[in-house]
Amino acid sequence: MRFLTIALVLALSSCGAARGYPVNAPERTVVVKEEAVVLGGGCFWCLEAAYELVPGVLDVESGYAGGSREKPSYEQVSSGLTGHAEVVRIRYDPAVVPLERLFGLFYRIHDPTTVDRQGADAGSQYRSIILYSGEAQKAAALAAVRLAQADFQKPIVTAIEALDRFWPAEDYHQDFFRKNPDHGYCQAVVRTKADKAQAFVDKLVP
């Protein structure tokens, strides 16, 4: 769905800021401890736009993970044959925003009960997935599923797997919503996710 618009976006994309959302990445302050988690739940443009609004999040990078192909391209991942999912790597300060609350936002901005689909985006590359690093993250991910299940009638199908490697996506995917707020997909889909994140963001600060 989005693949057909990429060439046009590269040629005509606006560098204007998304109205109503921060233009710049969060300011870096003194960070005693920095952690990272990798999440996938549909289009990575959506997750990136949502998590960039969260205080305590230091950086959000779109990429690919969960498959076996090395150095995958967007075209290869879009084929659904690489095993990779579209994901984001979220670097955050746990003293400002605990992992559990990042998971809380995750389950509010995508549907974790659909297999290999988010809205009109279908394929294994759009699956709901948490890729953990270490047993503590794994335990937190499993606990988040149990907690979130009460909000859904259907079973949550989020895959919880150990992270092997994160592959950054191409440069044109990074900060896509901020750079291309008027893009059709951003207006129809990404902005809705960002609105949900904005409504939730105050609850993310301990």
User: Domain residues of the chain, as ranges?
Assistant: 33-204
pLDDT in tens, 50-99: 999 999 999 999 999 999 999 999 999 999 999 999 999 999 999 999 99
The pLDDT of residue 33 is 86
Topology classification of domain 33-204: Peptide Methionine Sulfoxide Reductase; Chain A (3.30.1060)
Helices 44-51 + 191-200 axis angle, to 10: 30
Per the prediction, the chain carries an average pLDDT of: 88
The verdict on whether 43 is a catalytic residue reads yes
Contacts of 149 (CB under 8 A, 6+ apart): 155, 156
